[in-house]
């Protein structure tokens, strides 16, 4: 019943995007964790596509590296049966919990390193670190996601797409579809030399 109520809140992708604009950004982002916000428009398109594929409504959805809860909130709004968000930052989780409370969302946010996650799900949504500050930082997220769920929706730098295809195949999985987006990285940390930098990212579906 709850899932039906959630679906009635956001029947269109644009409605989902508008709702996700209310998810807070990181108050004091940590460069070592590469805490960049997931744009509401991109999150809405990814999750709405996952919903249309049957991977959200009524499903257990896990958000690895959930940050302030962008993907978690999107999954709840689209009628997920259960949503669990994991992050290693207590500050980010505090913001996520406050946001969920404002929405009246029933989301279980847990403090944990991604390597220590020990539960499964139907679907994983995630925007892991790109690895620009710590090489291969996205690898533990990929491993845990593929271990935990049959369907994984994840965001990565577009120039790593060939590597991702090879890596998932080594693990007995495959990237069945992907879409390239332009992503504007705002001036967030002291080492950023530009007001804004535009990069290409790939939203992939791993099956």
Q: What is the pLDDT of residues 134-173, one digit of tens each?
A: 677 889 999 999 999 999 999 999 999 999 999 999 999 9
Could you tell me if residue 36 is inside a domain?
yes
pLDDT at 172: 97
The pLDDT score that the predictor gives to residue 190 is 55
**Residue 161 located in a structural domain:** no
Which residue range is the domain that position 20 belongs to? 2-152
**Residue at 196 is within a domain:** no
Binning pLDDT at 50, 70 and 90, where does residue 185 land?
confident
Residue 77 — pLDDT band, cuts 50, 70, 90? very high
Q: What pTM was estimated for this model as a whole?
A: 0.88
Asked whether residue 190 is domain-assigned, the answer is no
Q: Mean of the per-residue pLDDT values for the chain?
A: 88
Q: The domain that contains 39 carries what CATH number?
A: 3.40.50.150
Residues 104-110, mean pLDDT to the nearest whole number: 96
In angstroms, what CA-CA distances link 143 with 51, 93, 103, 135? 23, 22, 31, 15
Query: Quick one: which of 157, 150, 160, 169 has its CA closest to 197?
Result: 157
pLDDT of residue 63: 98
Q: Pick from 109, 82, 81: which is nearest to 93 by CA?
A: 109
- Give the pLDDT score at 3: 42
**pLDDT at residue 4, rounded to an integer:** 41
> Is 172 among the domain residues?
no
167 belongs to a structural domain: no
Domain count, the chain: 1
**Token couple for 133:** 């500050």
Q: Does 130 have pLDDT greater than 50?
A: yes
Domain annotation covers residue 200: no
Which has more confidence, 180 or 28?
A: 180
- For residue 137, being part of any structural domain is answered with yes
30-57 pLDDT tens trace: 655 565 788 999 999 999 999 999 999 9
Helix (H) or strand (E) holding 84: strand 82-87
- Helices marked H in the chain: 2-9, 13-20, 40-52, 70-77, 90-103, 139-148, 161-170
Mean predicted confidence (pLDDT) in 71-78 = 96
């Amino acid at each position: 019943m709850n899932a039906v109520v959630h679906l009635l809140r956001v029947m269109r992708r644009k409605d989902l995007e508008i709702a996700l604009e209310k998810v807070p950004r990181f108050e004091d982002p940590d460069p070592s964790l590469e805490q960049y916000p997931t744009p509401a428009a991109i999150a809405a398109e990814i999750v709405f596509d996952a919903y249309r594929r049957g991977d959200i409504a009524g499903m257990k959805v896990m958000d690895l590296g959930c940050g302030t809860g962008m993907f978690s909130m999107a999954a709840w709004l689209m009628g997920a049966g259960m949503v669990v968000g994991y992050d290693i930052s207590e500050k980010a989780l505090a913001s996520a919990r406050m946001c969920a409370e404002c929405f009246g969302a029933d989301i279980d946010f847990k403090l944990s390193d991604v390597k220590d996650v020990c539960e499964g799900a139907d679907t994983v949504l995630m925007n892991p670190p790109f690895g620009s500050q710590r090489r291969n930082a996205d690898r533990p997220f990929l491993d845990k996601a593929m271990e935990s769920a049959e369907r994984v929706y994840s965001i990565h730098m577009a120039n790593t797409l060939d590597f991702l295809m090879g890596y998932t195949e080594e693990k007995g999985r495959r990237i069945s579809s992907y879409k390239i987006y332009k992503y504007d990285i705002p001036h967030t940390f002291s080492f950023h030399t530009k007001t804004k930098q535009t990069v290409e990212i790939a939203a992939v579906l791993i099956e």
